[in-house]
Structure 1
Amino acid sequence: METESFWDDLQAQCERLEPGVALLTPVSERAFGIESIERDRIVVQFGDSGEERPLWREQFEVFLERLAGGSVPVDDLPPSVEPYASVVTLSAEYAVEDDAITNDPEGAAAGESPYLIPAAEARTPPERVRDDALLLADHLERFGMDDPTSLDTESLTDRYVLLSDVQRGADRLRREVREPLLERLGPDQQLHGHFGSVRRTTRERRRTKDEEDVFDALDERGIPREWVLGIDRDKLDVVLAVTDLEEDEVYDVDEQVYAQKTTTDESEKYSRLEGLANRLAELEGEDGEELRDELAEIEDRLEEALSAG
């Protein structure tokens, strides 16, 4: 394929990508999206840093010259070349075979690439938390919050899954926020925001030193070793496994029954999100304002529900 034709085709393939999809760099596995397509470059943005980077047409041509002399092993790609390689595989001329990028019009499929990530999977952790919270808010609004026992089994299951996903995702984000927040908190200081306050709290977690260190410290002070000797749970479990000793003879067992989320259908959730986004995009004027007011009210009710839970 001529250089001009290749460039036109590559730009067309990038334009045809569905909103929200991303590409993955082959070696470092960094996700990036196509931000804009211009006459002499394709601008991409990396999801992990927000960094925007132009991929210049001239550099694509240099990469194609190297491919003309044979395949390029993926593992040999420098970090700066990785996004070029990922985008090239969208064309109808180049494919990935045996961990190498090669010129293979028969094996390549236009608009497809092993480095393409569907929109549902390409979202960052903060985006997933936001989307899950929106889905939960919509679910609470549609089915109500007052009496979970009145829900049909499918709706009750959906609510539990969404609550679990929101909680887990929010906990991950909270851990990420904790370190920079602690850097701004003095020992006896409180920080205040619109929604509440935080203060620094210190908890001690103790771990037993090596057995010999403990025994040496006891011996120095004349403390009998048997005072601290006890039952090793791990060793006890081994004894249970290889003898006829019964569990209830050595353990007091309390049974707790709980619901465990086993799967999450991200594609179904994303489909529902697209429906909500389309509703917002289609509504204008008073109807749109009314829906936005409803969403604001839903967010308030969601906050109350999560606080109560």
Structure 2
Amino acid sequence: MTFSASWHNLLENAEELPPDATLLTPLSRKPFRITDVQEHRILIEYREDDGTEPLQREQFETLYDRVTEGWGGFDLDNLPPNAEPYATVLSLHPRFQIDDREGMLSETETPKSSPLVDAHEVESDEAERGEPNISVYSDALLLIDELEQNDPSDLEELETPTLVNLYTLLSDVQRNADNLRQDVRSVLLDRLHHDQPISGQYGSVQRTSRSNRSLKNENEVLELLTEAGIERERVTSVDASKVDDALEVVELSESDVYNIEESEYVRKAEVDEESKETRLQGLKDRLAATDENTEDLQEEIEALEQRIDDLTSFDSASSFHTNLSGEP
């Protein structure tokens, strides 16, 4: 197929895109959209910039030649500066595809949609919102409800049970959010194959690396350092684990060999999952009824929430008074 035929095919596919479709550049992941399709160029607009940028037909032809003449496709790392959107737009053509993980633009005999277009279309406000079945969502919903009922800007004014609720939910959200973060990180690592940052709506990420060191065989290291003129005493130190073993067989106390500093902290002892689930169900029902005229259901939810408050709260002043007086 000649480039002229491919060009007109590309123009047709570009015109068929939804007006709110968002495209991403393959390396830097900058979002942009197509604003106009003309005979000799395609106009695009970056989300964070004002004004349009023309993508010229001649440049598409150059990229077309590089892809079709090269063995195995075209390495996206070889794109000239500011040429990334050409690769994304060319992938709208059914004969060209971007391998998002390998960073290659190549011809294909099995047409499929571009991963930099279809997966990143802007959702309309009327799009149906689903409820994800993950722990952090439920805990975050409960935490939001608690924060809406109790202003955390002045913690000293909050009752002790409220502080306990906040601490418990914050702890659960932190743990579950970190678990989800690690899962997301594992998937992202397979897709970040360049040093350039990849941007999303709320931020950007970049692949990086770090080295973890561990000493080789102790005798081998000491011999090498001795040969280099370093005295053994300068690099040897007391092993804490061996000191602990020694304390068990000698008449020395722990304070004789350790500097000990005591610190106090709050630890989450247990979580009342049943109360959390009951409150959560009430919140879900309330959210589901937001757009409906369900006054009876709303009253039932509020009554249920009041019962939960009565069962899970206590009079802190009365409790402290009882403990101090020693009377039941």
Q: TM-score, normalised by structure 2?
A: 0.46
**Which one has a bigger Cα radius of gyration?**
2
Which is helix-richer, 1 or 2? 1
Q: TM-score, normalised by structure 1?
A: 0.48
